[in-house]
Chain A
Amino acid sequence: MDLHFGDSKPTDDERAAVDALLGPPESSWEGADRSDADLRWARGGREARDRRDLLLPGLHAINDRVGWISDGALDYLCRRLTVPPAEAYGVATFYAMFSVKPRPATVLHVCTDLACTAAGASELCAGIEGGLGPGVQVERSPCLGLCERAPAALAIRAGDPVRTAVSAPATVREAVLAATAPDSAPEEPPAALAVPQADSGDLILLSRVGVVDPASLDDYRAHGGYTALRRAFELGPAGVIREVTDSGLVGRGGAAFPTGRKWQATASQPDHPHYVVCNADESEPGTFKDRVIMEGDPYALIESMTIAAYATGAHQGYLYLRGEYPRALRRLEHALVQARARGLLGDDVLGQGYAFDIEIRRGAGAYICGEETALFNSIEGYRGEPRSKPPFPVEKGLFGKPTVENNVETLVNVLPILTMGAPAYAAIGTARSTGPKLFCVSGTVDRPGIYELPFGATLGELLELAGVRDGLRAVLLGGAAGGFVRADEMDIPLTFEGTREAGTTLGSGVVMAFDDTVPLPRLLLRIAEFFRDESCGQCVPCRVGTVRQEEALHRIAERTGADAADDIALLREVGRAMRDASICGLGQTAWNAVESAIDRLGAYE
């Protein structure tokens, strides 16, 4: 590799931010001053290139400290990691939370996604932009995952350390306060407030949220923590996989793949090492369940990942957390330190001679990184573009090695499977959708939040619990990648097979209610805008198709019937090609919600 660095230099602050992550440079080959020894040998080569995966943490370090990434800072980071600057520039410009142009130290992300739009995000944005001076940059953001407290805003102030403040439900005054004085902003309400059933006593997945102290490992253990891992060690890896397979657990991220089969496929790969990756890049608009678990019961996730690793023969796990979750990051980081100190992670987990540790990797604002292979690329320090499959991750995943990837909700289901046993777990729910399921209910309901119900409850029962208001017009199931159903379809059973039979999808468990005051064409435009913004741009059907979809929806925003017919026909043709020919799920689902609004709701009739 023939690396070429420009002559732009980092500032002291930028250099310090990078060195704090990587340690001081050892030789001039990686950015130190030249010494005599440097004339005789070169450090670098494969060892240096093996640190490529520190590129994303390095970009975060600079962006956190300075607020943006200058040419000099990027070049210095590249020199330290032996990464070509052109590639690092391609990575830095991929993520929405980074800027390669100067900007104020404070950025206020105001959510303008579905639930927040329904709760008046546009007016909020207008008010905030009028009420803030030049020292803060206001950015209209995709879903911040705070839908139960819509509308939401997140302030990030660069510095050492970086400061964050969340305002939700946000008013103009509170959001401005969060941006101008993040240190004195009031603490967020506890995670348990997002769980309306918290006191009911019959929850399984959410039983500890609001009950345990998320900062206390002792409290977690006092509430049944780490019994599942002990049971896993009794069963042995094959036994754990058998229990998970027998439980009928399928992935909760939307694709509904059998978890036991995935674990078995990874465990049996002859290539080593194996990796466990937790997908906590919860970016589907309307989804916030993983955040509540991570904020309210962080040790449960760590224990689950340890079990997944033990079952599949992995000794290293990565927890890929979306960049917009500062509180979840703090709680998980604290929990990891505690677990390591107590021998629950590290060389000798629970004294069983099994080595496992977890590293948190922070995303930087890219919905596509929730796609499993895009997530691997992101961790590895490449652009978060999906890979084509096959090969599948169980065979060639992270760093080209066999990898099991599960999202947060899927993983925490493993705890009750092991503590209650597969048959008892499988008895919950229906024959083909077993276990409890989390639903993120938001929009025009009285008690938005996360609900835990056994599979098989109907949409109507769930909305009843959440306090659906009069005048319900439509429900969006599965988020922006899901589909709308009508207000008269309340008897749809909330199972994978039931929603499929009804011609819709359960997706990631989003249930967003909209009454007749919410303008439907504007929602559809927001969905189209979301996909246009979040397309990685790799394949043509998605890169250009999402743009053409948004243009057509703009043209028919105020039109119906025959006036809209041409553009609806165009949307169908483009949508069909996006679904058939896109590389990954983002492009394949980008037309689902719009199509369902046209066909089921008669959006433009």
Chain B
Amino acid sequence: MSVVPLGVPRRLLEFTIDGEPVRAPEGSTILDACRSAGKDIPTLCEGDTLTPKNACRVCVVEVEGARTLVPACSRKAEPGMEVRTDTERARHSRKIVLELLASSVDLSTTPRVAEWIKEYEAKPDRFGPDAARLNEEPKVDNDLYVRDYDKCILCYKCVDACGEQWQNTFAISVAGRGFDARIAVEHDAPLTDSACVYCGNCIEVCPTGALSFKSEFDMRAAGTWDESAQTETTTVCAYCGVGCNLTLHVQDNEIVKVTSPHDNPVTHGNLCIKGRFGYQHVQNRG
């Protein structure tokens, strides 16, 4: 769930989604309105704590009078708009986008993608065995987290979370251009030589598992990662007085990773290096 800040009551806009009249508060995106109306629109780069970048284009919908399809995640609803979410045209673009992504990167750890690929009848294999892929080895250059750009869909969420939207560290950016564009730190250096402060907020927002905890990466490699056997417990971080919420993911009585609830009004899912990674002392049974 996302946090709805209390404020001055907002005017309700009236428009239609798939022919049904709907009302949404002024400033809502088409996606907000669609979700309220119970429509399931696939999204990848959209994040509940970040300004949408609308880079993946998997949430496109048809708006009457618009020359092209529009991204539901970032286009604001307007009065009188006629939105159609499930036309052949919109479904076609979503299908192709899923095919293009699945043929170029590894989506095996992206939630819900397999379901959408089936729903839209996407066939990523049809570009042939020689279709260009990223094919990069995971970058393991520190003990806390792993960058596996073979899984990166360039959604910009990590860049936004590291930059002006949350962390203000600006350690990562997109470098290069076109198909060769990659998330990188300055001079494409190892993370240890960069401005990174290891807050892990980029991992928190990564939608595909391209950024992951070293603990999770190692367990997946060993075949011992089992989400169904994990429990999640939300508690308060004990390191300082701010009172950030920590969600401890525990498997076999070991903390395997730490996340933070996005609806926490103080942190919105963000933590610092201590809250995110400083849990070894808990399980030091000496």
Contacts and interface: CB of A to CB of B under 8 A. Distances in A.
Interface in A553-596: 555, 570, 573-574, 576-577, 579-583, 588
B240 to A, nearest CB: 18
A86 B100 contact: no
Interface string B97-127: 1001101100000000000000000000011
Interface residues of B, number: 54
A90 B174 contact: yes
A1 B57 contact: no
Interface stretch (B5-13, B191-199, B244-252, B255-263): B191-199
Given A89-B188, A577-B92, A543 B56 contact: no
Nearest to A567: B128
A533 B179 CA distance: 8
B154 A2 contact: no
Interface stretch (A181-189, A326-334, A534-542): A534-542
Interface string B170-204: 11111111111100111111000111010000000
Interface string B7-50: 00000000000000000000000000000000000000000000
Given A543-B154, A581-B60, A89 B181 contact: no
B45 to A, nearest CB: 9
A85 B181 contact: no
A89 B187 contact: yes
B171 A86 contact: yes
Interface stretch (A113-121, A168-176, A544-552): A544-552
B74 interface: yes
Interface in A357-399: 366, 383, 388
A537 B171 contact: no
Contacts of A541: 57, 93, 96-97, 100
A394 to B, nearest CB: 17
Nearest to A385: B174
Nearest to B171: A86
A429 interface: no
Given A540-B56, A581-B60, A547 B132 contact: yes
B60 to A, nearest CB: 5
A86 B170 contact: yes
**In the complex, which range does the number of interface residues on chain A fall in?**
35 or more
B60 A71 contact: no
B54 interface: yes
A48 to B, nearest CB: 14
A337 interface: no
A353 interface: no
Contacts of B96: 541, 545, 573-574, 576-577, 581
Interface of B: 54-58, 60, 68-69, 71, 74, 89, 92-93, 95-97, 100-101, 103-104, 126-128, 130-132, 153-154, 156, 163, 168-181, 184-189, 193-195, 197
22 contacts: A4-B194, A6-B189, A84-B170, A86-B170, A86-B184, A89-B173, A89-B187, A96-B177, A383-B174, A537-B174, A538-B55, A539-B55, A540-B57, A540-B58, A540-B101, A544-B101, A545-B96, A551-B127, A551-B132, A570-B126, A581-B69, A581-B96
Interface of A: 1-4, 6, 71, 74-75, 84-90, 93-94, 96, 100, 366, 383, 388, 532-541, 543-548, 551, 555, 570, 573-574, 576-577, 579-583, 588
